Each structure stands twice: as structure tokens, then as C-alpha cells.
């Protein structure tokens, strides 16, 4: 099933084409007010575990292994994944994250997981 999933830094300006805006970080991003974030939902429980997040440390050399470990966590996180899939069933979703690295972060990994990449 094809989903309309976008990935965007939470610091970028919300746009009408974002659809449902879902923050997928466990920790609230610094310097962003709840109003400015314009969230549909904050799904903390779908974020990587603290241990995995700390191990990864946004090191591109660990990206492939991070994705494998995160997918394993997602496979065991039926409730949060089902919540996100329910939102996707209602239309487009933009996964929001706070990391600086736009290519190597949990939102990118999560979008790939949901798309079946």
C-alpha cells in the first residue's frame, strides 16, 4: 500500500501540503513552541529507544545498523505503529524530527519502514 509520507524538520515552517503533522521524536525539540510546531500529534512512543538513540548519535557510519535495530524495535511496537498507520489511512502525513542531519535520522528510517523500503 502506497502512503503519502513526507519527512521534514520541525523547525521548518508548516505548509498546507504537510497534511497531518506528526512529531516522531521522544524529546521535544529545543526552541520550538507547541503553537509553532502546528502538530496533529506527538507520537513519542514510535521514536527509537533511548539506548538506540544514544548509540546511534547521528553517526552516518552507523546508519545501516541503526535502521536494522530501529526496524526491530518498530516490529515489536505494534500499538505506536498502528496509531501512525491509522493516521496514514486518513491522508498525507509529514513526519517531523529535530535532528540537524536531514538524511540520517529516525524520521527518515521510519518513513522507509512504513513504505516497506
Helical packing angle, 78-88 and 106-115, nearest 10°: 70
Better-predicted residue by pLDDT, 113 or 116: 113
Dihedral of CA 21/23/28/32: which sign? negative
- Would you say residue 17 has pLDDT above 80? yes
32-58 pLDDT tens trace: 998 999 999 999 999 999 999 999 998
Please tell me the predicted confidence (pLDDT) of residue 3. 65
Amino acid at each position: 500500500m502506497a502512503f503519502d509520507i513526507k519527512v521534514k524538520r520541525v523547525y521548518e515552517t508548516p505548509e498546507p501540503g504537510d497534511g497531518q503533522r506528526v512529531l516522531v521524536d521522544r524529546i521535544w525539540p529545543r526552541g520550538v513552541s507547541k503553537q509553532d510546531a502546528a502538530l496533529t500529534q506527538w507520537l513519542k512512543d514510535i521514536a527509537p529507544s533511548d539506548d538506540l538513540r544514544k548509540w546511534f548519535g547521528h553517526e552516518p557510519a552507523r546508519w545501516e545498523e541503526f535502521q536494522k535495530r530501529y526496524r526491530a524495535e518498530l516490529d515489536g511496537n505494534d500499538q505506536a505503529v498502528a496509531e501512525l498507520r491509522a493516521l496514514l489511512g486518513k491522508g498525507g502525513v509529514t513526519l517531523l524530527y529535530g535532528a540537524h542531519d536531514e538524511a540520517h535520522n529516525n524520521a527518515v528510517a521510519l518513513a522507509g519502514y512504513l513504505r516497506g523500503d
